[in-house]
Amino acid sequence: MLNIIASKLFELKSECNYRIALWKHARRLPALEERDRLIVDTLKQEGVYVTSITELGLDSTTELLKAARVQLSRMSAADNTPVGEKLPQIYTVTDVGEFSQWGREKRLLAIVENYIGLPIAFHGVHLRRDFPNTNQFGTLLWHKDSEDRRIIKIIVYLTDVEAHHGPFEYVPLSLTSLFSFNYYRIYHKLWQSGYLGIKDEQLKEVIPKKYWKSCTGPAGTVIFVDTKSVLHHGTLRTQQRDTLFFVYTANPPKRPELCTQYWDDTFPKPQLNTEAVVACKDDFCHG
């Protein structure tokens, strides 16, 4: 009992410190370009903002896409026969200049810091190939991430993503806001799952499917999402899907131990060789 009280007091103190830090840092936030203000405002309202890499127009985009194409050519192709539960193939590409340079573009950092409201940490980049699956498991279950109080993931589609490629899908924040009944019903279901996540059938009992937002889009689609606040998942697919995930939290995050996977040896790290970059000549490389 005493342990529970002590841990609740600790939690309360840490929440107060967090609120004070947000208040203090509000005056130090980096300037935002007008077009980026819309991204931050939409993130605050809906938890997600969808755009395209061309629309974003960052200087290092061409290099990023070239490097991604080279790395993808080294990954194993999907056998499109659906398997019950096949894990995605993930490479940590944080140490490869072209990826970290894009992730550290000044405009992106300003967007993330204005959203998170505190000094930020860019943890790294995963290049990810998701395979056909017939069962919901892992990140195919509806869940919320738990690295920090606010997290930004920037997802870049490297291939066209239609319904059968298993798009990123989410429930808009406005339908599950903190003081709504839905928030507590979902929280209860997540708790029952041991926070692993819930299946489509369970979510349908709270939020009808017509309100779920599926992020289909062509290669180059970019999704900004707060994966802590927004209930989300990847949908079941019959065709493979290739993506990049850039990950940011406050510095330090609430759960630093969950953030090391974006730069440590949890996943393999491919080496970029310049010859391969030069050899890469298809349209998307030069997009």
Ligand X SMILES: O=C(O)CCC(=O)C(=O)O
Please state, in angstroms and as integers, the Cα–Cα distance from residue 66 to each residue in 53, 63, 222, 223, following that order: 13, 5, 16, 20
Check binding of 240 to ligand X (CB under 6 A).
Answer: no
Check binding of 150 to ligand X (CB under 6 A).
Answer: no
For residues 71 and 93, the answer to whether their CB atoms sit within 8 Å is yes
Helix (H) or strand (E) holding 127, with range, is: strand 120-130
Tell me the CB-side half-sphere exposure of residue 44, using CA atoms within 13 A. 12
Q: What's the min distance (Å) between Cβ of 28 and ligand X?
A: 29
Bridge partners of 51, per DSSP, are 222
Check binding of 145 to ligand X (CB under 6 A).
Answer: yes
Check binding of 51 to Fe ion (CB under 5 A).
Answer: no
Helix (H) or strand (E) holding 187, with range, is: helix 181-192
Give the list of residues 6+ apart from residue 20 with CB closer than 8 angstroms, or none. none
Q: What's the min distance (Å) between Cβ of 88 and Fe ion?
A: 12
237 interface partner picked from ligand X, Fe ion, none, CB below 5 to 8 A per type: none
Site string for Fe ion, 213-232 (x = CB under 5 A): --------------x-----
Choices 41-49, 115-123, 184-192, 229-237; region in contact with ligand X by CB under 6 A: 229-237
Q: State how far the Cα of 209 lies from the Cα of 24, in Å rounded to an integer.
A: 40
Check binding of 168 to ligand X (CB under 6 A).
Answer: yes
Pick one of 130, 145, 147, 169: the residue that binds Fe ion (CB under 5 A). 145
Check binding of 242 to ligand X (CB under 6 A).
Answer: no
Choices 42-50, 116-124, 143-151, 215-223; region in contact with Fe ion by CB under 5 A: 143-151
Q: What's the min distance (Å) between Cβ of 1 and ligand X?
A: 36
